[in-house]
Amino acid sequence: MNDAMNAQQFADLLQRYRAGTCTEEEKQLVEAWYNDRRNEAYNPVSAEDEAAIGKKLYGQIAAELGFEHTLAVRRPNRWYWIAAAAAIGILSGASLLLKKPAPPTTVVQTSQSASIVPGGNKALLTLADGSVIVLDSASNDTLSKQGQTVVFKQRDGRLVYRAGAQAENEAIAYNTISTPRGGQYEVVLPDGSKVWLNAASSLRFPASFSAQERLVELNGEAYFEVMPVKTKPFRVSLTHAGHPSTVEVLGTHFNIMAYGDEASINTTLLEGAVKVQSQGGVRTLQPGQQARVTQNGQMEVENDVDTEAAIAWKNGYFLFSNSDVPTIMRQIARWYDVEIEYAGPVPSERFIGEIPRNSHINDVVKMLELGNVYCRIEGKKITILPSR
């Protein structure tokens, strides 16, 4: 590759690499270019040409596979090279996967995948007296009155707590909203704070907060937009592998991912400031930082994380940022309510890109096939087949 190479020549070279018809010298040049671009160094074409290359290659591959939903590469200034180099953003370690995948030997029949559907607004509300309300089928009206707090379901499906003046000696009535696998829900707490629950999650909270603090307990994943009240801190209590931790805020936007089958509790801050406390210490986060509390209770903080990836689920899509197959399949299992099984060693491929959460499961499988990860669907079970 040289500086005079134009977009068309470069696209042709990448196509030959993908087809396996380029020379050894050309192969080395492409891989050298890829490694340089990973470090945002040398680039033989302009940003505009590189963007055009990525779109052209993606379009060709999507047409070949009949892809209805695209895996759009995000952050054009930084990531268009991924579309050009990986033909929709599939990476495997440090190597380039531009080769055309072999035709799958396992065909997913429509009848086999018909029972697998994307999740939606589904949740149960358990009141203080133990009664349970199925929110997805409840009428859009007042659901309960607890003390001076009225609980109602809005026309848009949102669950809202409207708190009145709390009596001095009024007992605290705890409620729990829980989503199943394949469910999500939004609730407005008694103080006006908004919480979006992801699939397989639960939030325990009082129908009316005390005068001293606002304490809730989370299992699973939730995005918070906390109403600022300087005299009454908002705290989220968490437990992971038996180790408790707490996130404390005054008013801010943040995401907490605290599933028991994940390696850590991840608190990602978008706006404001939060204080994360575990047995590993106390850290105050700034926007763009993520605190990870591991299963042994230790904490590490990463700067400049992809906050958009952390809340992609809340915005209606999966966003993979160099994600490995187990991470992707755990998300798929929770959202599509399926069982995941591995018929052989876990594939080592990694994925970058996005796909809408309302995608048909067959489109998700096609995306995996682009990365040489093949699946078999039987009822509500997806089996990851050995790599080819």
Mean pLDDT of 287-292: 96
* Res 16: pLDDT: 73
* Res 119: pLDDT: 96
Considering the entire predicted model, what is its pTM? 0.77
Give residue-wise pLDDT tens across range 353-388: 778 899 899 888 887 887 778 999 999 999 999 876
Residues above pLDDT 90, as percent of the chain:
53
7-19 and 76-86 helices, crossing angle to 10°: 40
Q: Between these two residues, 197 and 5, which has the higher pLDDT value?
A: 197
Give residue-wise pLDDT tens across range 70-108: 443 333 333 334 444 444 333 332 222 333 334 444 444
* Res 106: pLDDT: 45
* Res 12: pLDDT: 73
Residues above pLDDT 70, as percent of the chain:
72
**Domains along the chain with CATH numbers:** 7-96 (no CATH), 110-116+311-384 (3.55.50.30), 120-310 (2.60.120.1440)
Annotate the chain with three-state secondary structure: CCCCCCHHHHHHHHHHHHHCCCCHHHHHHHHHHHHHHHCCCCCCCCHHHHHHHHHHHHHHHHHHHCCCCCCCCCCHHHHHHHHHHHCCCEEECCEECCCCCCCCCCCCCHHHHCCCCCCEECCEEECCCCCEEECCCCCCCEEEEECCEEEEECCCCCEEEEECCCCCCCCCCEEEEECCCCEEEEEECCCCCEEEECCCCEEEEECCCCCCCEEEEEEEEEEEECCCCCCCCEEEEEEECCEEEEEEECCCEEEEEECCCCCEEEEEEEECCEEEEECCEEEEECCCCEEEEECCCCEEEECCCCHHHHCCCCCCEEEEEEEEHHHHHHHHHHHHCCEEEECCCCCCCEEEEEEECCCCHHHHHHHHHHCCCCEEEECCEEEECCCC
Give residue-wise pLDDT tens across range 232-283: 999 999 988 788 999 999 889 999 999 999 999 999 999 999 999 998 899 9
Q: Is the pLDDT of residue 216 over 90?
A: yes
Rounded to the nearest integer, the mean pLDDT of the chain is 80
Alpha carbon 368 to chain centroid, angstroms:
16
